[in-house]
């Protein structure tokens, strides 16, 4: 019967059903033609496909792995990225310094660590770390050469300047600075004739200036030390171990030999060599302090020391042109290599300095340690990837092997997994060629995710290929396979692509790159499975046609027995033995409508018209009929023509039989349906409840393997020292000189935030600048009153008085730059502490040049930087009196410390408070924004849930559109979307019960799971729309069955269609 007769033999389907049937038939026809074309040219398709995919895989040679946290986690296009870009435009790419940290904790929780023994162990670890030396490029690099030194003064006396350069201490924030032992961490030394080597352990600055006074003019340097309150530096502090023979005689407890009160000495923090500009707050040194009701420090559970190193740019600039690097090609890359090598050695020696049986633990960490950790996670583990793919190879081979050699597909499974592996490599290579950078998610997750998605479609096509309808011509087998399963593969692949593209809506660079790379890899998987894998199936078809063994295709199959064909009239003549007889009987049924056109009936032709079976082995043995066509392979006993291929009894059971005969009938019972709906309704309700438990957050400990030293350090840091250095950045676009009150109000409001640890008195650059001007104004007033400074001369005045003199006569007018009449008519700073606006930028030049320690302590980071200016009070020429004004500021910052930030809610509250302060300042004309790691990495949580909801909604809408277009059944598409929405809610609720926090990583996984969930729903929905499978449903209309099946299978009508209709009459 022809297809047209079949379609017109009964009433036409309803009008609303014609379009879906026509579309599915049209798509099936296109896939059928594609499959037939691939089968005809299977060798060429396989060769060209493998060549193209192999060429793309070569792109992996140029893959770039990104480990910079800012580039990985800062939201693209957000205000944070714009602010970060502005900061880098003004200050450059590098930070001012890098931190290396030591944290000491007790082995037992709640044990106090404020004991001389614990401080001695901390000194041992810190001293071992400070003595680290590395040899690179033929040079030896120690801490004193690469550490960050804040505010090194410029001294006109060459001898003193060289001595200061060698002696100037590194910035080390440590509790040891409360004691003389803090000087042991400073490695600088200098030599003077007639004296032992000068080091901080024996340096008394006051005594040294007295000894050098007769030989050099050190008035300016003396004044600088007095302003910085250096005093006796370290030799005037108590010794932690007064019995130390090197403990100086000037130490307060040297004579008494009494061990100092550790808690009392550490209370309120410690100071560096400058008591005014180097104050280390207690929160930076002590973890979990315990105080008495009167506020006295009693105990603490952790100690922390932080070593600051120069950035690679600073180290390069510092030694550029220096005699120590003149013989090597000194570059910034080499400077970075020196710093990284030193930091790795720092961590290693610090952890090895403590005995294994010590009662205290030392945790060391550096910026390079974190980079190495991220880089190690980003490297592809060849062993892990190879192991995963080998397991999949074994699984595919074992599950696709059959006892019946003609239906075994072990080699197809092996080739399919290898093809998917090649498509994954080619997809990643294509991403590399497109300029996408890789990260830990790409290298550790994507290869396995893509493997699972790719082999799913491969298994579908392979299974459909073995279940081809009887009578399908050999040259149309691949086309028939794609016709039946190609639509399902297209539907799921397109939805996966849409899912990953929608996941790219999450504006986190690392996860956006992962989503886009996953979309590219899925598209490569789809191309390979739809074009190249059918070619592999076609080649395997030739193997089966030639009756070769699976996998070992060079050997013939032992199951190639001949089939006895009996004509109907011979049935009565042949005497079949009771055992060992194997009869092949073929019954061909034709289906046509009855006279009323209401039912489809099955008609068996007369036995005299039964056609004999084809004689070729391929039709009689390999591709046995389905449904009503049953073959008993074998032959009459005693003929001796071949061996019988009998499968084991256990091989007769399979999932298909279980699903058809047990699971489906049980599920279709009314009670089972009701029970399933109740159970899933309860699960949905529990998931909605669990969704309320989901918290936001992702800490570094979630990204570090447990049990490692890095994990222990991060855990201790979060527990004891939850401090973050941040800054309030003010931009250009307004007049700093006339906005001082607004700037001070901005600083005051920011200091009042709950999480801000604000020192008292305030120490911003504006406060220090104003205080310094008030100091030189007071010196000028004294010199003016004493007559040491007159209207026309400042030679006899003090250094500070002369500076104020030169500032007061500035007018800012290029024609008349000096006005001596203003000396006694105005002040540098008014009664409210505001600097005279017309002298603001000239005074800034003087302050930056004359107070380097105060400038370094303020961490102002001015841009444009004020010009350098040298002062000589004895030079009274007009050019010398003129002070160049600094350019209007475009960048400045107020440093702050945030404390108590442990939960994501704490970070969000701090960010919202800081943003509110900046918004209020904007209304006053001040352009400002907060800067620091909390604002870089935690601001994403302000809109993460909104972004997640948007991505899921858009994805579900796109899934509905795609399913509606391919299935032309809005009702079915709606059911698919409903199930996917339920899956998403249930996954989100399970996160709450399991305590998994919501961050950008789970968001991408949840969004991707929606697309992957289409794999489980679209296949079932598509099969239900097929008439052949509708016929398995009780109560299905035969008319719908015939029309749908005919539309979906427009190939050879009689064998295929009749077999399917007859199959419907078989009992399940």
Residues of the chain below pLDDT 70: 1-21, 24, 69, 93-96, 152-161, 213-220, 374-375, 377-381, 401-408, 545-656, 876-879, 1025-1068
Q: How far apart are CA 906 and CA 914, in angstroms?
A: 12
What are the structure tokens assigned to 181, written together?
A: 């032992």
pLDDT of residue 556: 62
The whole-angstrom separation of Cα 848 and Cα 865 is: 9
Alpha carbon distance 829, 766 (integer Å) = 12
Distance of CA 840 to the CA centre of its chain: 45
Sign (positive/negative) of CA torsion 246, 249, 252, 253? Answer: positive
- What is the per-residue pLDDT for 1052? 36
pLDDT at position 621: 36
- pLDDT of 520 reads 92
Q: What is the pLDDT of residues 973-1005, one digit of tens each?
A: 888 899 999 999 999 999 999 988 888 778 878
What integer pLDDT is reported at residue 178 of this predicted model?
93
Reported as half-sphere exposure (CB side, CA atoms, 13 A), residue 536 has a value of: 25
List residues bridging with 998 in a β-sheet.
Answer: 696
Q: What pLDDT does residue 210 have?
A: 77
DSSP 685-699: HHHHHHHTT--B---
Query: For the whole model, what pTM was predicted?
Result: 0.73
Strands, DSSP E only, in 520-578?
none
Residue 569 tokens read as: 């009239």
Helix ranges (H only) for 692-813 are: 709-720, 740-751, 765-786, 799-808
Task: Report yes or no: 309 and 148 within 8 Å, Cβ to Cβ.
Answer: yes
Whether the CB-CB separation of 1026 and 1044 falls below 8 Å is answered with: yes
For residue 459, give every residue at least 6 positions away whose Cβ sits within 8 Å of its Cβ, in sequence order, or none.
396, 400, 416
Q: Is 92 left (phi over 0), alpha (psi -120 to 50) or beta?
A: left
Cα angle, residue 354 at apex, residues 351 and 360 outer, rounded to 5°: 105
pLDDT for the residue 528: 92
SS3 for 814? coil
- By CB atoms closer than 10 A (0-12, 13-18, 19+), residue 57 is buried
Distance of alpha carbon 103 from alpha carbon 92, whole angstroms: 31
Residue 730, token pair as written in the block: 């003010």
| Extended strands (E) in 537-683 | 584-585, 590-593, 600-603, 630-631
The torsion of the CA quartet 1060, 1061, 1067, 1068, rounded to 10 degrees, works out to 40
Please, are residues 273 and 707 in contact by the beta-carbon 8 Å criterion?
no
- The total of other beta-carbon atoms located within 10 Å of residue 377's CB is 18
Q: How far is CA 310 from CA 148, 188, 656, 855, 863, in A?
A: 5, 16, 68, 17, 20
């Amino acid at each position: 019967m022809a297809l047209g007769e079949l379609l017109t033999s009964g009433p036409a389907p309803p009008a609303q059903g014609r379009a879906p049937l026509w579309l599915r038939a049209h798509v099936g026809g296109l896939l059928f033609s594609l499959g037939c074309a691939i089968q005809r040219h299977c060798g060429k398709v396989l060769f060209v496909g493998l060549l193209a995919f192999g060429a793309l895989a070569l792109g992996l040679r140029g893959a770039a792995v990104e480990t910079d946290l800012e580039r990985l986690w800062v939201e693209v296009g957000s205000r944070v990225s714009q602010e970060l870009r502005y900061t880098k435009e003004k200050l450059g790419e590098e930070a001012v310094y890098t931190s290396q940290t030591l944290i000491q904790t007790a082995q037992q929780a709640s044990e106090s660590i404020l004991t001389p023994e614990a401080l001695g162990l901390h000194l041992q670890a810190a001293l071992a770390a400070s003595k680290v030396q590395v040899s690179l490029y033929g040079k030896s690099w120690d801490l004193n050469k690469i550490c960050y030194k804040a505010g090194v003064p410029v001294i006109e006396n060459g001898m003193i300047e060289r001595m200061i350069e060698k002696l100037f201490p590194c910035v080390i924030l440590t509790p040891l600075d409360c004691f003389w032992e803090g000087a042991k961490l400073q490695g600088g030394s200098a030599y003077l004739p007639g004296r032992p080597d000068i080091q901080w352990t024996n340096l008394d600055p006051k005594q040294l200036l007295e000894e050098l006074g007769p030989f050099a003019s050190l008035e300016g340097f003396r004044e600088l030390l007095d302003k910085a309150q250096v005093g006796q530096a370290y030799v005037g502090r108590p010794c932690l171990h007064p019995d130390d023979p090197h403990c100086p005689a000037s130490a307060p407890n040297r004579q008494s030999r009494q061990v100092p009160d550790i808690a009392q000495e550490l209370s309120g923090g410690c100071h560096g060599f400058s008591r005014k500009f180097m104050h280390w707050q207690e929160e930076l040194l002590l973890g979990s302090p315990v105080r008495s009701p009167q506020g006295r420090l009693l105990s603490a559970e952790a100690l922390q020391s932080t070593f600051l190193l120069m950035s690679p740019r600073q180290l390069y600039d510092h030694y550029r042109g220096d005699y120590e690097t003149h013989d090597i090609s000194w570059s910034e890359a080499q400077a970075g290599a020196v710093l990284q090598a030193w930091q790795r050695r720092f961590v290693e020696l610090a952890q090895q300095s403590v005995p294994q049986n010590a009662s205290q633990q030392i945790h060391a960490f550096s910026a390079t340690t974190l980079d190495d950790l991220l880089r190690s996670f980003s490297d592809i583990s060849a062993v892990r990837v190879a192991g995963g793919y080998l397991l999949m190879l074994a699984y595919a081979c074992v599950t696709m092997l059959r006892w019946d050699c003609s239906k075994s597909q072990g080699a197809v499974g092996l080739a399919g997994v290898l093809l998917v592996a090649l498509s994954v490599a080619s997809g990643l290579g294509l991403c590399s060629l497109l300029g996408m950078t890789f990260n830990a998610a790409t290298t550790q997750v994507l290869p396995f995710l893509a493997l699972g998605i790719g082999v799913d479609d491969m298994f579908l096509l392979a299974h459909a290929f073995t279940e081809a309808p009887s009578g399908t011509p050999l040259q149309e087998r691949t086309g028939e396979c794609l016709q039946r399963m190609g639509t399902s593969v297209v539907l799921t692949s397109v939805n996966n692509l849409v899912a990953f593209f929608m996941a790219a809506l999450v504006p986190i660079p690392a996860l956006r790159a992962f989503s886009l790379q996953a979309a590219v890899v899925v598209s490569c998987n789809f191309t390979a499975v739809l074009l190249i894998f059918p070619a592999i199936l076609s080649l395997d078809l030739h193997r089966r046609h030639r009756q070769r063994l699976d996998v070992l295709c060079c050997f013939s199959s032992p199951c190639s027995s001949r089939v006895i064909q009996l004509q109907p009239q011979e049935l009565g003549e042949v005497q079949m033995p009771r055992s060992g007889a194997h009869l092949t009987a073929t019954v061909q049924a034709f289906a046509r409508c009855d006279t009323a056109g209401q039912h489809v009936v099955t008609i068996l032709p007369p036995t005299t018209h039964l056609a004999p079976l084809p004689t070729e082995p391929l039709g009689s043995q390999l591709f046995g009929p389905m449904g009503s066509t049953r073959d008993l392979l074998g032959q009459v006993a005693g003929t001796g023509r071949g061996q019988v291929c009998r499968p084991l009894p256990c091989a007769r059971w399979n999932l298909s039989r279980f699903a058809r005969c047990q699971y489906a009938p049980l599920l279709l019972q009314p009670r089972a349906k009701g029970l399933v709906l109740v159970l899933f309704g309860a699960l949905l309700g529990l998931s909605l409840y669990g969704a309320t438990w989901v918290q936001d957050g992702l800490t570094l400990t979630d990204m570090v393997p447990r049990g490692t030293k890095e994990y222990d350090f991060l855990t201790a840091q979060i527990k004891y020292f939850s401090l973050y250095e941040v800054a309030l950045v003010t931009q250009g676009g307004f007049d700093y000189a006339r906005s001082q009150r607004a700037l001070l109000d901005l600083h005051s409001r920011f200091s009042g935030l709950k999480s801000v640890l604000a020192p008292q008195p305030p120490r911003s650059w504006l406060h220090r600048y104003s205080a310094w001007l008030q100091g030189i104004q007071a010196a000028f007033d004294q010199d003016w009153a004493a007559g040491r400074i007159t209207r026309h001369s400042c030679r006899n005045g003090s250094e500070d008085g002369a500076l104020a003199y030169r500032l007061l006569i500035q007018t800012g007018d290029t024609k008349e730059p000096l006005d001596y009449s203003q000396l006694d008519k105005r002040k540098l700073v008014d009664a409210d502490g505001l600097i005279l606006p017309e002298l603001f930028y000239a005074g800034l030049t003087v302050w930056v040049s004359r107070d380097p320690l105060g400038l370094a302590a303020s961490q102002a980071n001015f841009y444009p930087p004020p010009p350098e200016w040298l002062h000589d009070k004895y030079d009274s020429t007009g050019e010398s009196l003129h002070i160049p004004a600094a350019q209007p500021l475009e960048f400045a910052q107020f440093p702050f410390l945030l404390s108590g930030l442990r939960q994501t809610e704490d970070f969000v509250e701090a960010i919202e408070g800081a943003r509110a302060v900046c918004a209020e300042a904007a209304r006053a004309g001040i352009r400002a924004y907060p800067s620091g790691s909390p604002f870089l990495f935690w601001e994403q949580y302000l809109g993460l849930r909104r972004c997640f909801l948007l991505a899921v909604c858009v994805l579900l809408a796109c899934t509905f559109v795609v399913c509606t277009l391919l299935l032309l059944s809005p009702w079915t598409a709606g059911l698919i979307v409903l199930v996917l929405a339920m899956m998403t809610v249930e996954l989100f609720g399970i996160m709450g019960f399991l305590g998994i926090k919501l961050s950008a990583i789970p968001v991408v996984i949840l969004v991707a799971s929606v697309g992957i969930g289409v794999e489980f729903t679209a296949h079932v929905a598509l099969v239900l729309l097929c008439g052949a499978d509708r016929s398995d449903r009780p109560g299905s209309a035969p008319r719908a069955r015939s029309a749908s099946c005919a539309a979906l299978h427009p190939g050879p009508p009689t064998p295929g269609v009749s077999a399917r209709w007859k199959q419907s009459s078989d009992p399940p």
